Amino acid sequence: MNLAFWFFSATAILAAFLCITRRSPVASALWLITTLFNVAALFVLLDAHFLAAVQVLVYAGAIMVLFLFVIMLLNLTERDPGDRGGWWPNKIIGAAVGIALVVELFVLRRAVPPAALVRPPGSAARAVAEQGAVRVLSVPLFQAYLVPFEITSLLLLAAVVGAVVLAKRRI
């Protein structure tokens, strides 16, 4: 288990790094897909089986495909001089901020949640074993979080309409 965890997390990080540093948008997209797959694997290891599946289906399968569609629609190649040059301190600033962020997050990682909220260890795995991965997610979703669920559906409607309107040549 540990080995799997290390493997998947290392791959995810490597793929993410490659994603942000490639010149070609297509390469970036593909590396991002790799990252998403690895994160899905991590989900499985963390007892969120359903979410892993959703991640692969929705994120890697739909969203990234959409990205690739748009990249190819706009015909962006690496010969596009747009990304070249630029203000070089930007890179330094970016790197510095990134490192600072990592450091801060590592420090904050030590934060401890209130004791009242903490479940006994292993309860998550047990819940999945008892109810099944889907039920663990769906029961709260359709009971406690019903209203956000409905609102999210409206949000999706709005997004669809908006995307169509924005991308049309002539309204």
Partner 1 sequence: MNPLAGTAADLVGLTVLLPFLGFLVNGALAFLRPQAKRTVSVVGVGSVALSFVLGVFVFLAVLGARPEEPYVRTLWTWMPVGDLRIAAALQVDQLSVVMLLVVTGVGALIHLFSVGYMGDDPGYARYFAYLNLFIAFMLVLVLSASFPVMFIGWEGVGLCSYLLIGFWYADVEKAEAGLKAFLVNRIGDTGFMIAMFLIFAQLGTLDFVAAAPAAAQHFARGSGAVTAIALLLFLGCVGKSAQIPLYVWLPDAMAGPTPVSALIHAATMVTAGVFLVARANVFFALAPVAAAVVAAVGAVTALFAATIGLKQWDIKKVLAYSTVSQLGYMFIGVGAGAYAAGMFHLVTHAFFKALLFLGSGSVIHAMHAAYHHTHSHADAQDMRNMGGLRAHLPVTATVMWVATLAIAGIPPLAGFFSKDEILLAAFTRGAQDPLYYGVWVLGLAGALLTAFYMTRLMLYTFHGPNRTGDLERPHLHESPAVMTAPLVALAVLTVLGGAINLPHVASLHRWLEPLTASSAAIAGAPEASTGLELGLMALAVAIAVGGMVLATRLLHPEALLPADRAPAERGFAKLLLEKYRVDEVYDALIVRPVVWVSRVVLWKGLDAGLIDGAGVNGSAALARGLGWIGSRFQTGQLGTYVVVFVLGVLAVFGTLMGLL
Partner 2 sequence: MFLGRALAVSAILFSLGVTGVLMRRNAIIIFMCIELMLNAVNLAFVALAQQLGADGQVFVFFVMTVAAAEAAVGLAIVIAVFRHRESVNLENINLLRG
Query: Cα 16 from chain centroid?
Result: 11
Distance CA 138, CA 49 (A): 13
Q: How far is the CB of 110 from partner 1 (least distance, A)?
A: 10
153: its two tokens: 């559906």
In whole angstroms, the minimum distance from the beta carbon of 129 to partner 2 comes to 14
Determine which residue in the list 77, 101, 115, 129 makes contact with partner 2, applying CB under 8 A: 101
Residues 104-143 that bind partner 2 (CB under 8 A): 105-106, 109, 113, 117-119, 121-122, 124-125, 127, 136-137, 139-141
Distance CA 121, CA 111 (A): 17
DSSP single-letter state for residue 46: T
| 2-31 footprint of partner 2 as x/- string (CB under 8 A) | ---x---x--xx--xx-xx----x--xx--
Write down the residue that tokens 């630029």 correspond to. Answer: 86
Which of 3, 34, 53, 55 binds partner 2 (CB under 8 A)? It is 55
